[in-house]
Structure formats: C-alpha cells, structure tokens
C-alpha cells in the first residue's frame, strides 16, 4: 500500500470494512491463518485469471474464473452464510449510511 493510502475503516464488531461508503464483509476471523492465506492466494489467482480471460475475450474461461473467485470468497466467509452467530443480518454491499453503522460511519467524516 502506498504511504498516502490508509487501510479501509473496520467496523467495531470486525464484520465489515468500508470502501467508498459501502460495507464489505470481512473474512471469518476464526479461519486459521495458514488456511486464510491459502484461500486468499487462491482468490488472488482466480482474480488474475478473470483479467486474463477478459483480455483474451474468452467468455468460458472468464465464467470459470469468476466461479473460482466466488468459491474462494464463500470459503473465506466474505459471501454466503454469515460467519457470526448472534443472528444479526448481513449488511454487506449496503451503503454504510443506510445501516445501523450510519452514526459510526458519519463520525469518520469519510462521506
């Protein structure tokens, strides 16, 4: 990360980061570090494959690579069933200002 960029804000409960005002679910913190790294590596590899398929104009390869991206994100807990157990809904992909995190986000002064 360049020195002028700071990491995205993380909600106090650790469930989300905020990018351009939108909540994105974080990986399940209960995943052991070695497994999380393996899944992250697989995710990055699949994302590179998406790019290569797009550059090549190969729709079938793109579809397969996007499926691998999705599978890695589900395994990490960023998509699919939520990884927390308290019954709280998933606000992933919602604008932070339209969720129960609105006051927290407003206090950041990023909007």
pLDDT digits (tens, 9 = 90+) for 63-73: 999 999 999 99
Longest dimension (CA), the chain: 45
Helix H, strand E, coil C: the string for 25-61 is: ECCCCCCCHHHHHHHHHHHHHHHHHHHHHHHHCCHHH
Q: Provide, rounded to the nearest whole percent, the portion of the chain with pLDDT above 70.
A: 95
β-strand partners of 17: 10, 24
The structure's pTM equals 0.86
Which pLDDT band, with edges at 50, 70 and 90, does 3 fall under?
A: low
φ, ψ dihedrals at 88, nearest 5°? -65, 140
The answer, yes or no, to whether residue 102 has pLDDT greater than 70, is: yes
41-46 mean pLDDT: 98
Angle (nearest 5°) at CA 20 between 98 and 48: 125
Which DSSP category does 14 fall into?
S
Helix or strand run (H / E) with residue 19: strand 16-19
pLDDT score, position 23: 98
The answer, yes or no, to whether residue 27 has pLDDT greater than 80, is: yes
Helix H, strand E, coil C: the string for 75-101 is: HHCCCCCCCCCCCCCCCCCCEHHHCCC
């Amino acid at each position: 990360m360049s020195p002028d960029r700071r990491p995205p804000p993380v909600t106090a409960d650790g469930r989300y980061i905020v990018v351009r005002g939108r909540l994105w679910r974080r990986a399940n913190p209960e995943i052991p570090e070695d497994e999380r790294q393996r899944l992250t590596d697989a995710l990055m590899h699949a994302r590179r494959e998406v790019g290569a398929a797009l550059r090549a104009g190969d729709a079938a390869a793109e579809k397969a690579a996007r499926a691998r991206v999705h599978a890695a994100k589900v395994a990490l807990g960023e998509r699919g069933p939520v990884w927390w157990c308290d019954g709280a809904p998933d606000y992933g992909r919602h604008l932070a200002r339209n969720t129960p995190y609105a006051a927290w986000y407003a206090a950041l002064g990023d909007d």
